Amino acid sequence: MTEIEMTDHDGLRTIRIARPEKKNALTRAMYATMAEALRDAATAPTVRVVMITGGSSCFTSGNDVSDFKARGEQQAEVPSPAREFLAALRACPKPVVAAVAGYAIGIGTTLLLHCDFVYAADSAVFRMPFVDLGLCPEGGSSLVVPQRAGQLLANELLMLGDAFNGETAVRAGIANAVVPIAELFSVAEGVARKLAAKPPTAMQTTKRLLRQAEEARLTTHMVEEFAHFGALLRGPEAAEAVAAFQEKRKPDFTRFLAAE
């Protein structure tokens, strides 16, 4: 079974993360495949809407730890596959709908900020644990989350990094609605079909106008985020976080001094 499944039907392209044995953890190859599927959708005349899902058990647990460690031991890839995927998602001119069940961790949450519609099952668990991993926010989340959620809730989600449910995701402007797991795909696909039936040029123009005011600012902000993220990924705090995860112990950050 391929780890990214793509199907086209009646104008709807579905991109499904299909690596359940690893909780849909994302590798560089998976990012590259999804980026290509989005770039192709942008120009394919038969595709009118894109839907992203991880199935009914897990959306994605974030980066694959083996890939994560390897990237920390290398020079940062510019552009990295994850960065290319996010760029393709942001650049997609057609509506993108996400259906989220189970875990949506790290980039599993931040990618949703660039989707047009997000529906969360009542089983969905979101988390942005970047600080706990010795990292900083990515995907524009340090700009977009405070704008949508307000500063205090953004501080909770990005500085404490605790898990949160679908209701909090709605309050934070990350999801449109929470629905029972049994209804998740019928609701998300129903919205996608409704979008697909609308005039495509008018739809794409509307999406562009809705986003263009903040596009330049977001692009600049994401460049800064990724620069800090890459530096931290190669740093000792991230190395300690990954080592602790692999050794099944609690990380010890007490030996690291705060910056002056």
pTM of the model as a whole: 0.94
Q: Is the pLDDT of residue 235 over 80?
A: yes
Residue 77: what pLDDT? 52
What is the average pLDDT across 172-189? 98
Query: Nearest to residue 12, comparing CAs of 181, 188, 178?
Result: 188
Quick one: what percent of the chain has pLDDT higher than 70? 94
Q: What is the rounded distance in angstroms from the CA atom of residue 82 to the CA atom of residue 45?
A: 26
> pLDDT by residue (tens digit) across 18-52?
999 999 999 999 999 999 999 999 999 999 999 99
Per-position DSSP letters for the chain, written without gaps between them: --SEEEEEETTEEEEEE--GGGTTPBPHHHHHHHHHHHHHHHH-TT--EEEEE-TTT-SB--B-HHHHHHHHHSPPPTT-HHHHHHHHHHH--S-EEEEE-SEEETHHHHGGGGSSEEEEETT-EEE--TGGGT----TTHHHHHHHHH-HHHHHIIIII---EEHHHHHHTTS-SEEE-GGGHHHHHHHHHHHHHTS-HHHHHHHHHHHHHHHHHHHHHHHHHHHHHHHHHHTSHHHHHHHHHHHTTS----TTSPPP-
How confident is the prediction for the chain on average, in pLDDT? 94
Q: Is the pLDDT of residue 11 over 60?
A: yes
Q: Is the pLDDT of residue 202 over 80?
A: yes
Residues in the chain: 260
Q: Is the pLDDT of residue 69 over 60?
A: no
Question: How confident is residue 79, by pLDDT bands cut at 50, 70 and 90?
Answer: low
- DSSP β-bridge partners for residue 119: 99, 177
* Tokens (6 digits) for 126: 């979101």
Q: Render the burial of 151-173: b for 16+ CB within 10 Å, e for the rest.
A: eebbeebbeebeebebebbeebb
* Residue 200 preceded by cis peptide, ω within 30: no
Residue 80: what pLDDT? 86
- Spatial CB neighbours of 42, under 8 Å, sequence gap ≥ 6: 88, 91, 92, 93, 94
> pLDDT by residue (tens digit) across 104-161?
999 999 999 999 999 999 999 999 999 999 999 999 999 999 999 999 999 999 999 9
Residue 259: what pLDDT? 72
Which CATH architecture best describes the domain 1-182+199-260?
A: Alpha-Beta Complex (3.90)
What is the average pLDDT across 92-99? 98
Q: Is the pLDDT of residue 73 over 70?
A: no
